[in-house]
Amino acid sequence: MLLSAGPLVAALAADARGTHALAFYCVLVAVPVLAVTSLAYFGELVDGSADESSGALYVGLTALALLLVLIAAAARARAVDATVPALGTSAAVGALLLLGLQTCVWCSGRLDRAAIVSMLRTFT
């Protein structure tokens, strides 16, 4: 999950620094990474080794993130040296939010109430 978000974070950071060509290539790197991740989740779902409660959700969120990254790459393709279109940045941020939602779903399935309470008690 975090490997998929890495190129998108790098692209947004490169956009903030004004190196739009580097940001475009970071978005391009995110395309095969998300494609492989989505296919891996789909393979686990078909194989039967995916989480029963959230396996299909992982496939859907990753596929939607891949679609948004493809939109971001297409929007940035013409504007490598010029300003970045708003669609390119918005699609990258949307994909990053979907991957964050996927991480939240993963965490909610791994942590139960007793683990959270015991973790909070160690801080007080």
pLDDT for position 55? 81
| Residues contacting residue 51 through CB under 8 Å, at least 6 positions apart | 58, 109
Alpha-carbon dihedral 2, 14, 65, 40, rounded to 10 degrees = -40
List pLDDT tens digits, range 38-74: 999 899 888 888 777 778 888 999 999 999 999 999 9
Q: What's the domain count of the chain?
A: 1
Domain of 51?
2-123
Q: How confident is the model at residue 90 (pLDDT cuts 50, 70, 90)?
A: very high
Comparing 116 with 95, the larger pLDDT belongs to: 95
Average pLDDT taken over every residue of the chain: 87
Segment 12-36 shows an average pLDDT of: 91
